[in-house]
Amino acid sequence: MKTKPNKIKFGFYVSCIIALLILSGYLRDTVFKTINALLRAWDLDQDYFLPPFLSFLENYQYETLENLKWLLTLIFSLLYLILTIFSIKLFLKSSKYIKIAIFTYLGIIVISGVFILIGLCFNSIAQKMYEFARYLMGMAQSPIILMILIPAFKLLEKEKNKTV
């Protein structure tokens, strides 16, 4: 009798994680595209009409919006890390895998930071370094890492069980 409520609870948690992944992806995409479009409009001295829920952004300075994008990058990366941790707890129940996930995210952030610093030091390659750092941080702000880690950990568990 206990298995049916557990399956319902499990299904509910999986549904919640999927919904949060979709909603956070949509929110992130909308916010970043809006900020980028607003900055581009200001660069071209054009008007840009913001969605009502983001209209407060036009009160900020150009530099503030650029800095806000950096902050939002870290916030969304943290959100996806949290969703990854909850998913690992749900599917695998292993603190070892949670540590690996945390170090994966930290590694991506540190490597991206190193590329940004290299770009700041060497102006000739700044654009390439920024593009690569942006690509890596894009992975940290999406479910890609989760989609790689969970199957990898599941395969590792399967292989462990074969040898035991």
Residue 49 tokens read as 């009409």
Contact 121, 100 (CB under 8 A): no
Quick one: average pLDDT of 39-58? Answer: 90
Asked whether residue 1 carries a pLDDT value surpassing 80, the answer given is no
Neighbour count for residue 26 (Cβ, 10 Å): 10
Quick one: average pLDDT of 137-153? Answer: 93
Domain count, the chain: 1
Asked whether residue 153 carries a pLDDT value surpassing 90, the answer given is yes
Confidence of residue 3 (pLDDT cuts 50, 70, 90): low
Confidence of residue 161 (pLDDT cuts 50, 70, 90): confident
Residue 61's pLDDT is 93
Quick one: average pLDDT of 49-67? Answer: 91
DSSP secondary structure of the chain? --HHHHHHHHHHHHHHHHHHHHHHHHHHHHHHHHHHHHHHHHHTT---PPPGGGGGGGGS-HHHHHHHHHHHHHHHHHHHHHHHHHHHHHHT--HHHHHHHHHHHHHHHHHHHHHHHHHHH-GGGHHHHHHHHHHHHHHHTSTHHHHHHHHHHHHHHHHHHHH-
Quick one: average pLDDT of 25-51? Answer: 92
Domain that holds residue 103: 3-163
Query: pTM for this one?
Result: 0.87
